[in-house]
Amino acid sequence: MTSRDALPLVSVVMSNFNGAAYLEAAVTSVLAQSYGALEVIVADDASTDDSVTILNRLAEDDPRLKTVALTENKGPAGARNAAIEAAQGDWLAIVDADDLVHPDRIARLMNHAKSHDADLIADDLVSFGAPETAGQTLLCDHVDDATIRVTPSAFFRSDTAGSGFASFGYLKPIIRRSVLGDMRYDETLRFGDDFDLYGRLLLSGACFMAVADPMYLYRRHAHSISHRLSVTALERLIAAHDNATTADTELHQILAERRAGLVRALRYQRFVDAVKARKIWAACGHLLRHPELLKELRASLAERRARGRSRAPSGAQPGDAQTVILGQGDASGAVKAPPDAIWISDTHAESITRLARLATRGPLDIIAIGSAGLNTLGYAPIWRSAQLYLDAKTAQRTPVPQKARVEILPKA
């Protein structure tokens, strides 16, 4: 096995602003990585909650965690830049302060980066937390191959102001430090700063690979900012987009199409703002100049109604506790599970998305059998209890999650 000292150092870069509710879970999931050569740099963006206290407490137990406490709010881009400046790693891994990651995520991605000679390597995401979006993935629904190269054309084509979770800008790659060089996040952007940085890296010739394995658990909640638009945010996105240049004819057309989509979104946002402010004449003026806004308004209202009608799947009601059994086999009869327990025996995309939906609906009591079950447990974003049935060798050499109970299986 490769020794820790022989591995390239990976710096996990995280920005945080008033994220105390989810911060400890996010940092703990990173510190629990099986990859040995790791440091975690959290830039706290002048939080007014208990974030810094939480970080200081966690750092007392694990010196790999370092906090950069900013005295004025700079936004996610500015905070990430501050964390990058403090990072020592050969690679930079981007993780948000309210998300979670599979314990083998960095190890697997680093192996993929080496085998594909990638400058950026990302995995798929699976969302949880909001019932209407729980279980959604970005790559698994759109690609057939286990590993794909994200070309500049595919990257820019994936994004419009309304493309949401389909945009490759949502990916959280590990980036080779030497390729990043002096390039940094655009601090004028409070939205879309990820997409902007990845796009500039691609246009500079970086190799961006993505793995269709949803090891990044993306939390959606009421305070998420990644899907919020405003006139100012869109104006800044357009200004940043206009800095992108290429001599490639096809890519130039794709960039033009993306800009047109951003401009349409800006027009619609100005119209919506006028309606909300009850500026009737201004709203009518927008409609007269751009009658297509009415069609966009109808589509937006229909989407909102559809979200409001969304209900939990049939069966258990939201909030009901459920027992989920992960892995194959019956653990030699050791498993005592209720008759309505749900079995998930593999880590195919369908199983992982189902696990995210179940975790979002209510408390999970998980029974994980063997190394396969333990691996699947890493895809479960939330659980109330976890009982692991492992053979003695696996239990001795494999880290297990905190608060999980372990029972050693008898030898066959």
Q: Of 81, 71, 59, whose CA–CA distance to 14 is shortest?
A: 81
Residue 327: pLDDT band (50, 70, 90) is confident
**Are both 172 and 31 inside the same structural domain?**
yes
Instruction: Report pLDDT digits (tens) over 372-401.
Output: 999 999 999 999 999 999 988 888 888 888
Q: Which of 106-120, 311-325, 347-361 has the highest mean pLDDT?
A: 106-120
Instruction: Report pLDDT digits (tens) over 125-146.
Output: 999 999 989 999 998 765 656 8
**Are both 139 and 180 inside the same structural domain?**
yes
Instruction: Report pLDDT digits (tens) over 181-200.
Output: 999 999 999 889 999 999 99
Report the alpha-carbon distance of residue 152 to residue 373 in Å, rounded.
38
- Is 333 within a domain? yes
**Are both 266 and 337 inside the same structural domain?**
no
- Is 225 within a domain? no
- Is 214 within a domain? yes
**Are both 124 and 48 inside the same structural domain?**
yes
Question: Count of alpha carbons within 13 Å of 175, Cβ hemisphere only?
Answer: 26
- Is 282 within a domain? yes
Report the alpha-carbon distance of residue 261 to residue 377 in Å, rounded.
40
Residues 6+ apart with CB under 8 A from 210: 121, 122, 123, 124, 139, 147, 148, 149, 150, 168, 171, 173
- Answer with the one of 189, 219, 249 that is the final residue of a domain: 219
**Please, which residues bridge with residue 143 across strands?**
none
**Are both 194 and 68 inside the same structural domain?**
yes
The chain-wide mean pLDDT, for the chain, equals: 89
Report the alpha-carbon distance of residue 397 to residue 403 in Å, rounded.
18
- Is 365 within a domain? yes
Domain containing 293 equals: 231-309
**Are both 305 and 329 inside the same structural domain?**
no
**Are both 285 and 179 inside the same structural domain?**
no
Task: Decide if 240 contacts 256 (C-beta within 8 A).
Answer: no
**Are both 272 and 344 inside the same structural domain?**
no
pLDDT of the residue at 315: 46
- Answer with the one of 309, 342, 377 that is the final residue of a domain: 309
Question: Which residue has better confidence, 5 or 18?
Answer: 18
**Are both 15 and 152 inside the same structural domain?**
yes
Domain total in the chain: 3
**Please, which residues bridge with residue 217 across strands?**
100, 126
Q: Residues 172-178: what's their mean pLDDT?
A: 97
**Are both 301 and 332 inside the same structural domain?**
no
Least confident range from 24-38, 283-297, 319-333, 351-365: namely: 319-333
**Are both 252 and 347 inside the same structural domain?**
no
pLDDT of the residue at 316: 47
Tokens 């595919």 sit at which residue?
A: 154
- Answer with the one of 259, 277, 309 that is the final residue of a domain: 309
Q: Is residue 412 over pLDDT 80?
A: no
Residue 334, helix vs strand vs coil: coil
Percent of the chain with pLDDT strictly greater than 90? 67
**Are both 200 and 66 inside the same structural domain?**
yes
Task: Decide if 387 contacts 367 (C-beta within 8 A).
Answer: yes
- Is 40 within a domain? yes
- Is 316 within a domain? no
Residue 219, helix vs strand vs coil: strand
Question: Which residue has better confidence, 349 or 85?
Answer: 85
pLDDT of the residue at 311: 47
Write the single-letter amino acid at 216.
Y
